[in-house]
Structure formats: structure tokens, C-alpha cells
């Protein structure tokens, strides 16, 4: 861990030294507020994504700081994965992104960056773990080579030492007999083992930012917690920033410090996990939290079932104008035909978009009860 | 969720197939001339009297093209009909027979698959001296495995569904299940295969006639026109290009129609 | 892996045996007297009987079949009925000619089809991809012998750049060999390239949708790098199947193209034997062609094992 890698350089430019960070990491638990000035790793500003005339993401704005783990929640079809892919610059052909995506140490926006520039950043400064471990690995290439490739690709290591490092990485993500795993093909591993391999690939070059798109959804319940643990500890060890997409509120509560709530391609609420999940302001978040409580009430018949959100998520591009949630919202009024402004909630060091909501009739307002 | 969509290959292919069908139908009521040697100059290029020219025996080319469409369609219909009538039941039988027997059928099928249509037709022509009927039957037999295969794969998907299991529990026999559940579900696949096989049959017939083993002299056939034109091509290339284009149009039509139909019936597969 | 290969080999042997029985049945069991067919309908009863005796056609079918099988295995196939020429040496010479033609055509077709098909897939939403795709559709619809006729008309007859046909062995006159190989090989390759390009296109399109290609991009591979390093090997799996099937159709296409270019290959041998009603020769050539198809299928299976590790180690 003493060699200086290009990604270390990127951090170095931003005024931080890897050994210092390692020291501070051990002394301060990751959940505790940091004494040092928070340093922004990822800034997304006014991100719009559209397919032809259909707009899929609207004005998505958020930022993530070093060492911060931010959740992105919402029903399927709300635009979570699209946000992740736009950040990575991996949107499929036919989708166009506008706005700004900036990574620490790089001045220009990543949107519209050349493919060769993006490919130098991807896999080194930012990495991604996907939802489907069963299909995320090349079935015709040995696992060790697939891990080593991400290091040789970025000239972090020559072929031989990359192969050796790959085995070390496989060991560190908790795979038993890593040398044997490196020699095997993906189909010889279980889903949980494959997701560990994917995590090893993502963490290989010590990225500044790790994007996780429902990394445990496809796994057995018994394996989920183990894989989550290794991802979180991997991120903590590296003091990396993390964007964690999930629809599982319980997972967000354990993994993340801050959470963004997405619906209809917009961020409708954001803030520290305790605030947003414990005391939601936006009516959509309220419904989401209530729906997850419903699961619990089933096992506890003494509690009365709470309302789930009525109706279904509309298909892409068919969300109403103004407040995207108003056609499913019991509190919607004429006012909601206008786009609700962002209402900051409390002071947050990362700015007004880090905590707040966009709702005309937040929980606790006049029409409640 | 996404509905069936009319696609470009389906439309273009359908129109080309329609063109060939119309040519064949028109030939029953009208041809510019009779199909015989005319008292006119030979090897005329296309002109006002003979829109597509005349061949080396002073026969009108357009007349032959129209009549040839009839032969082409006839061969295709009979060959594909033979193949489907045998191949579809065989495929269903193979899918519904448990274990060894089903496998044995498919092994036999694989061996027949090693006999290309043209080869089988050439072989048969040694014994029976060629001719349209022999060609059609040979092409048909060689096409059976394609139908058996596609039918079996479609049938297997249906047979493993719960509603077929339910139907079985309800006491329906294998024949009833084959008729009520399996057949309707493989129809689409079979029609697509028929379209593709039709194109292959046209190509095989053209090749056979070109070799002098298919449609006999004196009967109009596009492949035969190519054979008869071969020695005069350096001065009259249109005598090869016109029937060649007719063959290509028919084959293209059926291929596109089959592709388009597959996409139409299964939108998930579009573009593959 | 070796077990699977051995298993496949046994299936090949069984298939060859079954196919030979089928060929024999088609030729012998079906109505018609081979000796009379060979000598023509107007031949005298005596000469027919004589031929029958001379070639053992009066023996039981089982004995004839066994004899024929033994002949093919030992390459002792006897002589032709009418010309009395030895069959086996001719068969080998002509097989070599057809082999040159088919392998050259397949190589040409592959060299064109893999890059063009990949391009068609990568650019399938763009005009150039669509236009190429349309051209390949038309290419599929043009039979190889028609392409041959048109090539002869222009390149041999009109412009006289190439000889219009014939054959010289490569050892005798390398340049003459190449100039005579060019047109028929191109005629066969044009159609094959169109067909293969379409299969390559769909295989690559499929691979482009795969998650592991996105993983490769996320690792920092450029789109083309991701496709060549991770995509093509996977795309090769369906393409290899098609390659086997196409090699078989190429072999049969060669039968007709050899006639167009007057090439003394297996196809011409077959057609000449058909014309002179040499039943045993026809039967043997058909069997050689069918055997070639079956052996190609076996090789394709073996190639699978090399490409797809999932098959090698079992399980999926």
C-alpha cells in the first residue's frame, strides 16, 4: 500500500496523503463526524437524461464526499440505475445526458468527455458493482485474469504482478483458496462468490468513488449480509465515496449515512438516513417508509397494516408535470401542478441539496391528520 | 408488454413474395407471347415488343419469367408441404416421447440433416432421371429435419408449462394435448421455418434445373433459363441477369418475410 | 473433456454407419435395376446379366452393402461399370480439388464476414450498418452458381482478366492455379460471406447486450477493446455452429459451381457419374459428401469444447 498509484495522485492533488488518511481512519469510526474539511468526490449538477423526446431524468443534483456512503432509493422505474450509469458514462446508445458530473481532481465535466478520457477514469477513479453477479463476468475467461485485467488496463501493474495482486484481492474479499478461485471460470463459482469477484475488480485500483447498483438483490438472503459487509469495509478501508442504489430501506439504514429518494426521474427528498427514514417529509418517502413497515406488520399481527402507495409507477416519460408524484398522492392539490421548489432541511455541510425535499404538502403540514 | 410491431423486413419481404405470386397468377390468364419459338430475331435485348428481350431460341423472356414464377412457387409449396407434414408431427412426437425414444428420433433427424437438399435430389435423379416431381420430393425430404427440430424445441417449451401439466392431470391424453396445446404454440415457429425453407427450396430447384436435373426442357424455369443462356452470355448478359434477378427477388422475399415474421411474433428477439 | 470427445466420436461413427445404410437404401432398395439403369433401357438381357454378375449385383443386398463398406474403408472401390476406370484414385484427386475450392472460399468468406458482421452489429442503429445489412440480405439471395455465371461473363469473357474455367494443380503451375481458383472461390465466398456476416451480426448484437461487456467497460476498456477481448470469444460460440453448417452447404454449392467453371472436382465427378448412370460411383460420392458433413459437425463439437469452458468442466 506504499506505492503511489495514479488514483492516489488524484487524491494527492486534492490535498490529501494516503498514509495520513489511513491513520485518521483508524482513530475515528466512519460514522462519526469528520474533523477535517469534507472533500467532495462526486458532484452531479442538473443532470438530465433523455431518450429522443422522452426525458427520463430531470435536474438531478447531489454530491458525495470522501468516505461518505450515500444511498439512492426508490421503486423500480424511478431512474436509480440510469443515474448510476450516467455518472459512469455507460448509458446505452440512444440515451443522451446533459448537465454536469464532476469527479474530484478533474475540472471538466465527465459528461461529453471523450471515450478515451472516460475509459482512463473508469475502473481506476470510479468503479461499479452491478446487480447481476451471474452475468457480470465473462464466462469464457478465468476469474484471475478478469481481476488482473483492471490493473493492467490502467498500467497499475505488469501482467505478472497483476496476477499476483488479483489473488491477494480475491483473498481480501473473503474468498477461500483464492489461488484456486483465480484459476476457475465464473460458472464454477456461486452467485455470492461471483459478486465478491466483481467487488474485487471494482476495488482493485482503490477508486475514489464506488457505485453499487443493487449489489445484493440477486443473492440469497444468507449471503446478502456477508457481501454487504465486505463492500462496506472495502470502501471504508479506502476511504472512498460510495453511491449505493437499492430499493431495500433496511439495507440503506445499515449501509449508508445519507440517502437520496428518487421518483419519476427526480430527487424528491434527501438527507441523513435517520431524518429521511425516521421522519420523512415528502409524501412519496412517507409512502415508501410505510410500505416497508407493512412487511414488518405481517410478522407482527398486532400492528395495523399501513397504507402502501396506491397505483403503480407510470412508464418512463408518462409522469405528470409539476410534482411527479401528484397522480398517486392523496394530498395533491392544484398547487402541485407546479414543480415544487427544493426546501432545504437544516444545515448540512455539503450544501442545501444534501438535505431537503421538494413537496408542497410535506408531512406535518396543514392538510395532514 | 411491448406489442407486436409491423417491421420493415416483414413489409418488404411480403411485397416481394406478393410480386412473385402475382406473376404466377398473371401467367394463368395472360402472357405477352406463347411459350414457344417465335418467328423473331434471337437474343434481342429488352425492347418495346419484347419487354425483357428474347432468348437464344427466339422465345420471349417475359413469358418465361411469368411462367417460371409458377414453377418456382409450385416446387416451393410441395417441398415445404412435404417437409412440414412429416417434420411437424415427428418433432411433436420427439418432444412428447419420454427419454430414449425421443432422443433416438432426433439422432435419426440429425443424420438426415447431413443430406443437403441438392445432394438428395441429385442422388434421386440418378435413379429416376430427374424431373420436377423428383426434385420437389427430394427437397421436401431433405427439409424434414429443419421442421422437426424447430417444432420439437417449440413443443418442449409448451410441454414443460404448468397448464399442460394441469391438462395432463385432468386426464387429457397425449393426442389431445398435442392438438390443443402444442400445435397452436408451434404454429408461429413453423410458419417462420416454412418461409425460410421456401427460399432454400427455390435455390435448390434453380440449381437443379441449371444442372439439367430439375425442370425438363420445354418447361419454363428460371434455373433452366440460366442453363440455356450460358453459352451466349458474353453477347447477351441480360439472359442471365433477368432470371437471376427473378430468383434473387423470390429468395430475398421469402427470407425477409421469414425474418420479419419472427420479429413480429416475438418482439423480444428483434434485431437478432 | 476427453470423455466427452470420445463420446462424440462414437456418435460420429454410429452416424456414419447409419448414413451409409441410408445412402445404400436410397440407391439399392428403391425400385429400379441398377444394371439396367447403367446400360440403358434398350440393352440386351444378356449384357445386363453379365454386368450384374461381374459386379456382384446378383448377391444379397447385405453382402453388397458389407462389400461396399469394406471398399470405402480400405479404399478399394473397384472400377466403374462402363469406363472400367478405378474409382478410388479419381475420388482422392477430385476430393483434393474440391477441398482447395471450399477451404479457399470459406477463408475468404470469414475474412470478410467477421469484420463486416461486427461492424454491422456495432453500427446497427446507424445508416451504414443498416445499408450493409440490406446488402448482405441481397447477397444471401444470390445463388453461388449465378454469381459464378456473372463473374465469368464479365471477368473472363468480357474483360478477360481470368480464365473462364478449368484447373491446374498448384504444384504444376502455381500462378495458373491461383488464377483458375480465383473466380470460383469468389463466387462461393460472396454468398457465404453474406450469410456468415448476418450470423456474426446477430451473435455480436447478442454479446453487446451482455452484462459482462458492461463490466468490461466499467473496468476502463474502450468499447472496441471490450468487444474484441470479451465479446468475440463469446460470439464465436454460435458462429462456430453456423460455420459447420455453412461448410456443408459450401460443399454442396461447390458441386454446382464446379459445373459452371468446368472444374474437375468431386461435384463434376458426381454429375458425370449421374449422367453415365454409374450407380456405385454416385452412391460412393454421395457418401463421401455426407461423411464430410458429419465429420465437420464432429469437429464443430470439438471446437466448442475448446471455446466454451462451461462445456469442458460440466455444469452451467
Contacts made by residues B31-36, CB under 8 angstroms, sequence distance 24+: B31/B60, B31/B62, B31/B63, B31/B66, B31/B67, B32/B60, B32/B62, B32/B63, B33/B59, B33/B60, B33/B63, B34/B63, B35/B59, B35/B60, B35/B63, B35/B64, B35/B67, B35/B220
Contact B241, B234 (CB under 8 A): no
Host H or E run for residue A165: helix A159-172
How close is the nearest chain A Cα to the Cα of C15, in Å? 30
Are A221 and A119 contained in the same domain?
yes
Pairwise CA distance, residues B85 & A138, whole Å: 43
DSSP string, C186-209: HHHHHHHHHHHHHHHHHHHHHHHT
Q: Are residues C128 and C243 in the same domain?
A: yes
Element (H, E) at B9: helix B8-29
Please check whether residues C232 and C110 belong to one and the same domain: yes
Concatenated DSSP letters for C247-307?
HHHHHHHHHHHHHHTT--SHHHHHHHHHHTT-HHHHHHHHHHHHHHHHHHHHHHHHHHHHH
Closest Cα partner for B140 from B154, B121, B114?
B121
* Adjacent-strand bridge partners of A213: A245
The reply to whether C72 and C140 lie within a common domain is: no
Tell me, yes or no, whether A213 and A292 share the same domain: no
Note whether residue A136 is domain-resident: yes
Q: Which structural domain range is residue A368 located in?
A: 262-369
A119/A170 same-domain check? yes
Say whether both C215 and C311 belong to one domain: no
Residues A111 and A181 in one domain: yes
* Domain contains A36: no
Report the C-alpha dihedral over residues A165, A166, A171, A177, rounded to 10 degrees: -120
Q: Can you give the pLDDT at residue A7?
A: 44
Mean of the per-residue pLDDT values of chain C: 86
Residues in chain A, pLDDT under 50: 1-37, 294, 302-305, 368-369
Q: How far A51 CA sits from the closest chain C CA (Å)?
A: 14
Distance from CA of A246 to the nearest CA of C (A): 18
> Where a domain ends, among A198, A232, A256?
A256
Query: Of B118, B207, B255, which has the smallest distance from its Cβ to C140's Cβ?
Result: B255
pLDDT at residue number B54: 81
Please check whether residues A252 and A269 belong to one and the same domain.
no
Among A256, A277, A296, residue at a domain's last position: A256
Looking at domain B60-266, its CATH class is mainly alpha
Residue A55 lies in a domain: yes
Q: Please check whether residue C258 is in contact with residue C185, taking contact to mean a CB–CB distance below 8 angstroms.
A: no
The answer to whether the Cβ–Cβ distance between C211 and A132 falls below 8 Å is yes
Q: CA-CA distance, B198 to B194, in Å (whole number)?
A: 6
Q: Are residues C116 and C209 in the same domain?
A: yes
The answer to whether position A280 is within a domain reads: yes
Q: Does A149 touch chain C (CB under 8 A)?
A: yes
User: DSSP assignment, residue B59?
Assistant: -
Q: What confidence score (pLDDT) does residue B98 get?
A: 72
Q: What is the pLDDT along chain B (272 residues), one digit of tens a residue?
A: 345 677 888 999 999 999 999 999 998 888 887 877 777 777 778 887 777 888 887 788 888 899 999 989 999 999 999 999 999 999 999 888 877 888 888 888 888 888 888 888 888 887 777 788 888 899 999 999 999 999 998 888 888 777 777 777 777 878 888 887 888 888 888 999 999 899 999 999 999 988 888 888 778 889 888 888 887 877 888 888 899 999 999 999 999 999 888 888 875 544 33
Under 8 Å between Cβ of C315 and C300: no
| B119–C140 CB contact, under 8 Å | no
Residues A277 and A337 in one domain: yes
Which tops the pLDDT comparison, A108 or C253?
Answer: C253
Strand partners, A243: A70, A211
Q: Are residues C109 and C172 in the same domain?
A: yes
* Pair A160, A266 in one domain: no
pLDDT at position C33 is: 66
Do both A148 and A289 map to the same domain? no
Structural domain contains residue A73? no
Phi, psi angles (nearest 5°) of residue C97: -60, -50
Instruction: Write the CB contacts of A355 (distance below 8 Å, at least 6 apart in sequence).
Output: A258, A270, A271, A272, A275, A344, A345, A346, A348
Neighbours of A242 (CB within 10 A): 27
Q: Is the pLDDT of residue C306 over 50?
A: yes
Split into its structural domains, chain A has a count of: 2
Q: What is the CATH number of the domain that holds A45?
A: 3.40.50.300
Residue with the larger pLDDT of the pair B271 and C163: C163
Cα–Cα distance for residue pair C21/B108, rounded to 1 Å: 12
CB A257 within 8 A of CB A270: no
Q: Please indicate, yes or no, whether residues A284 and A358 belong to a single structural domain of this protein.
A: yes
C126 and C230 assigned to the same domain: yes
* C-alpha atoms less than 13 angstroms from C-alpha of C272 in its C-beta half-sphere: 17
Cross-chain Cβ contact A124/C221 below 8 Å: no
CA gap A369, B197 in Å, rounded = 70
C102 and C10 in a single domain? The answer is no
Is A18 within the bounds of a domain?
no
Same domain, residue pair A124 and A230: yes
**Confidence (pLDDT) at C276:** 82
Inter-helix orientation angle C232-260/B183-210, to 10°? 40
Residues C122 and C238 in one domain: yes
- Residue C268 sits in the same domain as residue C287: no
Q: Do B126 and C282 touch (CB under 8 A)?
A: yes
> CA separation (Å) from C137 to A94, A329, C285?
25, 53, 32
pLDDT value of position B268: 52
Helix (H) or strand (E) holding C179: helix C174-208
For residue B269, what is its C-alpha cell? Answer: 428477439
Contacts of C262 (CB under 8 A, 6+ apart): C165, C166, C167, C268
C235 touches chain A (CB under 8 A): no
**Among A237, A256, A275, residue at a domain's last position:** A256
CATH number at residue C169: 1.10.3720.10
Q: Which chains does B contact via 3+ CB–CB distances below 8 A? A: C
Using one digit for the tens of pLDDT, what is the confidence trace for A217-241? 888 888 888 899 999 999 999 999 9
Domain annotation covers residue A321: yes
Give pLDDT tens digits for C36-69: 666 666 677 777 777 777 767 777 788 888 888 8
Q: How far does the CA of residue C200 sit from the closest CA of chain A (Å)?
A: 18
Are B232 and C153 in contact by the 8 Å Cβ rule? The answer is no
C-alpha to C-alpha distances, A101 to A86, A106, B105, nearest whole angstrom: 9, 10, 60
- Full residue range of the structural domain in which residue C65 is found: 1-83+279-316
Q: Is C259 in Cβ contact with B252 (below 8 Å)? A: no
Question: Is C106 in the same domain as C208?
Answer: yes
pLDDT of res. A369: 43
pLDDT of residue A181: 93
In B, which residues are within 8 Å of C15 by CB distance?
107, 110-111, 114
- Structural domain tally of chain C? 2
Specify the pLDDT at position A21: 39
Does one domain contain both A268 and A239?
no
Domain match, A56 and A193 both: yes
Query: Are C199 and C77 part of one and the same domain?
Result: no
Percent of chain C residues topping a pLDDT of 90: 35
For chain C, give the percent of residues with pLDDT over 70. 93
A274 membership: H or E segment, kind and range: helix A273-278
Query: What is chain C's Cα-based Rg?
Result: 24
Amino acid at each position: 500500500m506504499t506505492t503511489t498509484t495514479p488514483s492516489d495522485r488524484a487524491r494527492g492533488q486534492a490535498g490529501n496523503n494516503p498514509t495520513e488518511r489511513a491513520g485518521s481512519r483508524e482513530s475515528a469510526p466512519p460514522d462519526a463526524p469528520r474533523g477535517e474539511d469534507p472533500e467532495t468526490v462526486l458532484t452531479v449538477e442538473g443532470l438530465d437524461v433523455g431518450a429522443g423526446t422522452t426525458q427520463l431524468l430531470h435536474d438531478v443534483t447531489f454530491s458525495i464526499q470522501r468516505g461518505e456512503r450515500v444511498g439512492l432509493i426508490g421503486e423500480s422505474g424511478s431512474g436509480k440505475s440510469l443515474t448510476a450509469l450516467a455518472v459512469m458514462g455507460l448509458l446505452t446508445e440512444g440515451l443522451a445526458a446533459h448537465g454536469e458530473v464532476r469527479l474530484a481532481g478533474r475540472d471538466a465535466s465527465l459528461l461529453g468527455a471523450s471515450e478515451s478520457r472516460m475509459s482512463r477514469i473508469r475502473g481506476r477513479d470510479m468503479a461499479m458493482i452491478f446487480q447481476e453477479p451471474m452475468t457480470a463476468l465473462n464466462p469464457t475467461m478465468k476469474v484471475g485474469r478478469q481481476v488482473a485485467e483492471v490493473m493492467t488496463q490502467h498500467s497499475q501493474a505488469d501482467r505478472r504482478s497483476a496476477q499476483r495482486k488479483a489473488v491477494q484481492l480475491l483473498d481480501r474479499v473473503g474468498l477461500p483458496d483464492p489461488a484456486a478461485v483465480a484459476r476457475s471460470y465464473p460458472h464454477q463459482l456461486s452467485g455470492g462468490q461471483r459478486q465478491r469477484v466483481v467487488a474485487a475488480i471494482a476495488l482493485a485500483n482503490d477508486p475514489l468513488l464506488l457505485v453499487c447498483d443493487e449489489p445484493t438483490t440477486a443473492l440469497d438472503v444468507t449471503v446478502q449480509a456477508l457481501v454487504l459487509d465486505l463492500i462496506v469495509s472495502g470502501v471504508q478501508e479506502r476511504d472512498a465515496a460510495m453511491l449505493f442504489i437499492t430499493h431495500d430501506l433496511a439495507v440503506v439504514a445499515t449501509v449508508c449515512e445519507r440517502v437520496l429518494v428518487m421518483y419519476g426521474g427526480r430527487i424528491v427528498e434527501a438527507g441523513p438516513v435517520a431524518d429521511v427514514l425516521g421522519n420523512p417529509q415528502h409524501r412519496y418517502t412517507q409512502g415508501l417508509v410505510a410500505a416497508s413497515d407493512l412487511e414488518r406488520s405481517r410478522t407482527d399481527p398486532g400492528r395495523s397494516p399501513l397504507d402502501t402507495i396506491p397505483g403503480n409507477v407510470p412508464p418512463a416519460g408518462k409522469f405528470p408535470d409539476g410534482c411527479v408524484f401528484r397522480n398517486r398522492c392523496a394530498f395533491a392539490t392544484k398547487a402541485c401542478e407546479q414543480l415544487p421548489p427544493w426546501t432545504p432541511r437544516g444545515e448540512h455541510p455539503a450544501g442545501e441539496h444534501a438535505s431537503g425535499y421538494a413537496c408542497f404538502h410535506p408531512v406535518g403540514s396543514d392538510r395532514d391528520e | 408488454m411491448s406489442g407486436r410491431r409491423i417491421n420493415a423486413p416483414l413489409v418488404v419481404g411480403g411485397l416481394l413474395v406478393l410480386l412473385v405470386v402475382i406473376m404466377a397468377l398473371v401467367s394463368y390468364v395472360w402472357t405477352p407471347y406463347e411459350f414457344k419459338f417465335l418467328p423473331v430475331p434471337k437474343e434481342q435485348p429488352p425492347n418495346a415488343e419484347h419487354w425483357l428481350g428474347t432468348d437464344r431460341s427466339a422465345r420471349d423472356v417475359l413469358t418465361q419469367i411469368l411462367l417460371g414464377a409458377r414453377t418456382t412457387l409450385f416446387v416451393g409449396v410441395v417441398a415445404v408441404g412435404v417437409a412440414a407434414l412429416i417434420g411437424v408431427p415427428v418433432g411433436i412426437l420427439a418432444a412428447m416421447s419420454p427419454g430414449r425414444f425421443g432422443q433416438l428420433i432426433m439422432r435419426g433427424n440429425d443424420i438426415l440433416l447431413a443430406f443437403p437438399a441438392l445432394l438428395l435430389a441429385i442422388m434421386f435423379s440418378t435413379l429416376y432421371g430427374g424431373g420436377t416431381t423428383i426434385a420437389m420430393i427430394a427437397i421436401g425430404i431433405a427439409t424434414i429435419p429443419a421442421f422437426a427440430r424447430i417444432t420439437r424445441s417449440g413443443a418442449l417449451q409448451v410441454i414443460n408449462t404448468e397448464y399442460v401439466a394441469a391438462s395432463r392431470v385432468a386426464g387429457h391424453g397425449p393426442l389431445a394435448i398435442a392438438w390443443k396445446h402444442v400445435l397452436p404454440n408451434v404454429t408461429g415457429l413453423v410458419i417462420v421455418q416454412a418461409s425460410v425453407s421456401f427460399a432454400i427450396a427455390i435455390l435448390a430447384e434453380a440449381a437443379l434445373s441449371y444442372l439439367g436435373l430439375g425442370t425438363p426442357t420445354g418447361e419454363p424455369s428460371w434455373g433452366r433459363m440460366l442453363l440455356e443462356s450460358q453459352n451466349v452470355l458474353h453477347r447477351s448478359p441480360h439472359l442471365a441477369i433477368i432470371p437471376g434477378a427473378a430468383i434473387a427477388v423470390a429468395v430475398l422475399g421469402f427470407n425477409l418475410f421469414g425474418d420479419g415474421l419472427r420479429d413480429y411474433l416475438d418482439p423480444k428477439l428483434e434485431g437478432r | 473433456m476427453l470423455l466427452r470427445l470420445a463420446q462424440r466420436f462414437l456418435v460420429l461413427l454410429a452416424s456414419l454407419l447409419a448414413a451409409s445404410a441410408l445412402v445404400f437404401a436410397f440407391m439399392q432398395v428403391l425400385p429400379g435395376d441398377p444394371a439396367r439403369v447403367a446400360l440403358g433401357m434398350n440393352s440386351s438381357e444378356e449384357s445386363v446379366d453379365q454386368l450384374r454378375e461381374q459386379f456382384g449385383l446378383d448377391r444379397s443386398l447385405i453382402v453388397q452393402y458389407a462389400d461396399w463398406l469394406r471398399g470405402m474403408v480400405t479404399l478399394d472401390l473397384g472400377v466403374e461399370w462402363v469406363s472400367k476406370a478405378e474409382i478410388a484414385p479419381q475420388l482422392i484427386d477430385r476430393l483434393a480439388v474440391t477441398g482447395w475450392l471450399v477451404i479457399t472460399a470459406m477463408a475468404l468468406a470469414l475474412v470478410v464476414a467477421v469484420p463486416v458482421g461486427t461492424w454491422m452489429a456495432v453500427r446497427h442503429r446507424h445508416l451504414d450498418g443498416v445499408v450493409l445489412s440490406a446488402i448482405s440480405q441481397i447477397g444471401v439471395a444470390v445463388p453461388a452458381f449465378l454469381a459464378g455465371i456473372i463473374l465469368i461473363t464479365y471477368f473472363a469473357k468480357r474483360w478477360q482478366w481470368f480464365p473462364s474455367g478449368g484447373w491446374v494443380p498448384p504444384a504444376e503451375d502455381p500462378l495458373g492455379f491461383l488464377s483458375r481458383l480465383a473466380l470460383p472461390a469468389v463466387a462461393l465466398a460472396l454468398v457465404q460471406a453474406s450469410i456468415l456476416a448476418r450470423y456474426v451480426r446477430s451473435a455480436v448484437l447478442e454479446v453487446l447486450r451482455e452484462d459482462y461487456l458492461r463490466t468490461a467497460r466499467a473496468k476502463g476498456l474502450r468499447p472496441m477493446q471490450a468487444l474484441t477481448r470479451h465479446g468475440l470469444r463469446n460470439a464465436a460460440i454460435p458462429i462456430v455452429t453456423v460455420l459447420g453448417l455453412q461448410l456443408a452447404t459450401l460443399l454442396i454449392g461447390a458441386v454446382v459451381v464446379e459445373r459452371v467453371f468446368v472444374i474437375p472436382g468431386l461435384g463434376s465427378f458426381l454429375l458425370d457419374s449421374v449422367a453415365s448412370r454409374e450407380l456405385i460411383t454416385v452412391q460412393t460420392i454421395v457418401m463421401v459428401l455426407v461423411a464430410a458433413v458429419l465429420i465437420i459437425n464432429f469437429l464443430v463439437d470439438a471446437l466448442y469444447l475448446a471455446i466454451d469452458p462451461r462445456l469442458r468442466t460440466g455444469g452451467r
